[in-house]
Amino acid sequence: MNSIAILGAGTWGIALAKMLKNTNKEVTVWSALPDEIEKLKKTSRHPKLPNVSLPLGIEYTTDIKSAIENKDIIMFAVPSVFVRQTAKKCKPYIKDNQIIVDVAKGIEPDTLMTLTEVINDEIKNPTVKYVALSGPTHAEEVSIDMPTTIVSACKDIEIAKIVQCFFSSSFMRVYTNTDIKGIEICGAMKNIIALATGISRGLGYGDNATAALITRGLAELSRLGNAMGCSSDTFSGLTGMGDLIVTCTSLHSRNNNAGFLIGQGLTPDEAVKKVGMVVEGINALPAAIKLGKKYNVDLPIINAVNNVVNGIVSPRVAVNSLLNREPNPAQAPLHKQPCCAAT
């Protein structure tokens, strides 16, 4: 097993393309944007990773058929809003027993499907195996070979191990997990909490507020995950607490940075434009609100962010509303769990 098609030429897809090529994999990158592909061919650089030179031998194409045919692994790295239409384009060329890896993060708002479920809904081939690859992973760090950990999640642990082996490198350690739904819920919802910590910083609040938002945000994610039948361990592991820490505290985080700009007074549209990349936390909000209602789970931080993003309240009023909620002594504290849910 040595070949991969990477669908999407954003920073994360390109960072993984570089890493995989440097571990002697056959890598093809597809994008629906001809200008994007032409620039990559000519410069061997991504505009958002200007100091990273991409290795020779990566193939770049806008032809999805040639990109995915006869590949051992097909990886979806497009923004969440484009996952379904990309899967639809792939469908005629998907072979039986294909391994499909998703690294995009989000929940489809209309169906409340996770992204591997969205792909499966379009492909409709029961032999295809789906893996979610997720964790605390900034493209800016992976692209320069900084130490990183990530989780390969699949209902079939043997498939998760195949992907684990494929993506392992001297600086990336890959763990495995069978709770694919929990992994995907963490990946989507943590971006909303990162918006909250960014808004808090934009308002001038300090580390105390950030710590509170991260830990209480984790409690919200855990309550929702438990209601959906996910494993509690997943939320205290790399894809839960680990990804929350990196997304909520790092200056690399587009969601954290967008929240910061909103806290400073920019509108959400202005903040997204200034960040210059897709802000998945904003895209995830409609699905998060619907899931909370569907499973009757209290999500005060997520609801507060939704109110800010939709202009219902100002950021400062949203923070005050969180601080002045009625105490809930019956609410169970976050369970004590092992620090890493991966095996």
Q: Which long-range contacts (CB under 8 A, 24 or more apart) does 289-295 make?
A: 290/109, 290/112, 291/107, 291/112, 291/224, 291/228, 292/224, 294/112, 295/224, 295/227, 295/228
Rounded CA gap, 205 and 105, in Å?
28
| 190 included as an active-site residue | yes
Could you say which of 18, 129, 190, 293 is catalytic? 190
Rounded CA gap, 247 and 255, in Å?
7
Q: Which residues of 106-125 are buried (b: 16+ CB within 10 A; e: fewer)?
A: bbbbeeebbbbbbbbebbee
Q: Which residues are catalytic?
A: 190
